[in-house]
Amino acid sequence: MKQSGETSGRGCGYEGTGRSEVEHIWETFDGLFKTVYRQSRKVEELETRIASLERRLQERDGGGAAAAGAERQSAERVLTELPVERAA
pLDDT (tens digit, 9 = 90+) per residue, 59-83? Answer: 998 865 555 566 667 666 665 555 5
Say if 7 falls within a structural domain: no
Which residue, 33, 75, 69, is CA-closest to 50? 75
Within a domain: 13: no
Question: Is residue 41 a part of any domain in this protein?
Answer: yes
| Alpha-carbon span 24 to 32, nearest angstrom | 12
Question: CB atoms < 10 A from the CB of 18, how many?
Answer: 13
What is the mean pLDDT of the segment spanning 24-41? 95
Q: Is residue 64, in this structure, part of any structural domain at all? A: yes
Q: Is the dihedral of CA 55, 59, 60, 64 positive or negative?
A: positive
Q: What is the pLDDT of residue 66?
A: 57
Sequence-distant (≥ 6) Cβ neighbours of residue 82 within 8 angstroms: 44, 47
Task: List the domain range (segments joined by +) for residue 65.
Answer: 19-87
Residue 88's pLDDT is 46
The total domain count for the chain is 1
